[in-house]
Amino acid sequence: MSTLNQLRRSLGRTLENLAEGWQNLRERAGQALTHFRPPAKRDDLDTWEDQVIRHSADWGLLATEVQEDGESVIVRMEVPGMEKADFDIDVIDNHLVVRGEKRVQKERRDGRFHVMECAYGSFERALALPVEVDGHAADARYRRGILTVTLPKLRPAMARRIPVNTA
Amino acid sequence: MSMMKYEPWGLLEQMRREMERAVDTRTAEGSSVATSDWVPAVDIKEDADSFVIVADIPGVDPKDIEVHMENGMLTIKGEKESEKKEEREGYKRVERSFGSFYRRFSLPDSADPDKITASSNHGVLEVRIAKHEKVQPRKISVNS
């Protein structure tokens, strides 16, 4: 077998694996995979926290479910380890935009890490909402690492009877 | 002089492995078993007097978490239940996993199995395992 053929086969196999990997990833995570980046610097000081954030995972899963009932759309997002004040939630153009900053806890500031899988830093996730909602009447709660946002529908589903006219 | 294998696709192979690692949700090191439905991400840290394991477990009721240690293996496991089981209708998007999670870690001999504390806050489990006192760093003075 010529080297060229060997190379071609090798490349084909690799790309196949790559494509398959992506597909698995997409199926499993959808758009939940969210980029975490270091928060905007307030000054030039490179703190211990900045260093941890740089070394922590760049990507985290913000697994979400969107549920719709008669009056509202309910969004539940898994964002463990946050403080309520560090969330910034908006409804923009019928998207729910959740921004936040996951901080490294102060009591973990010394010692060294053996494993770092959790992501820290700033993140943003925008979710398209299935129907128009009233952003001003939204309600957000945070419990056990789950952010629950309840958004009342702008036009609640109403049963409508459509009369049939005779021609 | 050492001989190197010609591997022009090394980078792609590496990417593939990275991808597999991501897709396999950290099962590679064999720390989880097939019976678990999801695997939490963890940080493991060591400081002067203890080992600290921090695991992301959003939505898990603290009473459903079990932490135990035997033969130098620390096991965390538990169950995440859906908030409202009865109404599984009206879902437009489902990315969250529910069910049981399981993860094991092998800890060095310096970890003291009798001194483990665990706490859970905002969906983050923190397990702290104290080190045996004798292995804590001691300053030894040199006699002249």
Instruction: Tell me, letter by letter, the H, E, C secondary structure of chain B.
Output: CCCCCCCCCHHHHHHHHHHHHHHCCCCCCCCCCCCCCECCCEEEEECCCEEEEEEECCCCCHHHEEEEEECCEEEEEEEECCCCCCCCCCEEEECCCCEEEEEEEECCCCEEEEEEEEEEECCEEEEEEEECHHHCCCCCCCCC
CB contacts, 8 Å: B83 with chain A: 76, 146
Give residue-wise pLDDT tens across range A16-45: 888 887 777 666 566 777 888 887 776 677
Q: In this predicted structure, what is the pLDDT of residue B122?
A: 92
Say if residue A9 is exposed, middle or buried (CB neighbours under 10 Å; 0-12, 13-18, 19+): exposed
CB contact under 8 A, A117 and B20: no
Where along chain B do its domains lie?
Answer: 30-83+97-135
Identify the bridge partners of residue A154 per DSSP, sorted by sequence position. Answer: none
**pLDDT band of A47, cuts 50, 70, 90:** confident
pLDDT at residue B124 greater than cutoff 70: yes
Please give the average per-residue pLDDT across B112-116, as a whole number: 89
Q: Are A78 and A145 in contact (CB under 8 A)?
A: yes
Distance from A87 to chain B by nearest Cα, in Å?
13
Please give the average per-residue pLDDT across A3-19, as a whole number: 84
Give residue-wise pLDDT tens across range B26-81: 444 444 455 678 889 999 999 888 899 999 999 999 899 999 888 888 999 998 88
Q: In this predicted structure, what is the pLDDT of residue B23?
A: 58
Q: In this predicted structure, what is the pLDDT of residue A117?
A: 87
CB contacts, 8 Å: B123 with chain A: 78-81, 144-146
Q: In this predicted structure, what is the pLDDT of residue A12?
A: 86
Nearest to A64 among B19, B46, B96 (CB): B96
Q: In this predicted structure, what is the pLDDT of residue B28?
A: 43
CB contacts, 8 Å: B81 with chain A: none
Q: Is the pTM of this model over 0.90?
A: no
Q: In this predicted structure, what is the pLDDT of residue B113?
A: 87
Q: Please, what is the average pLDDT of chain A? A: 84
Q: Which residue of A has its CA nearest to B16?
A: A18
pLDDT at residue A160 greater than cutoff 90: no
Q: By the CB < 8 Å criterion, does A156 face chain B? A: no
Top-level CATH class of A31-152? mainly beta
Greater pLDDT, B15 or B93: B93
Q: Which CATH number, 3.40.47.10, 2.60.40.790, 3.40.50.300, 1.10.10.2840, labels domain B30-83+97-135?
A: 2.60.40.790
Give residue-wise pLDDT tens across range A118-158: 888 999 999 889 889 998 999 999 999 999 999 999 876 66
Nearest to B122 among A64, A112, A145 (CB): A145
Q: By the CB < 8 Å criterion, does A24 face chain B? A: yes
Name the least confident of A109-118, A147-156, B106-115, B119-128: A109-118
pLDDT at residue B4 greater than cutoff 60: no
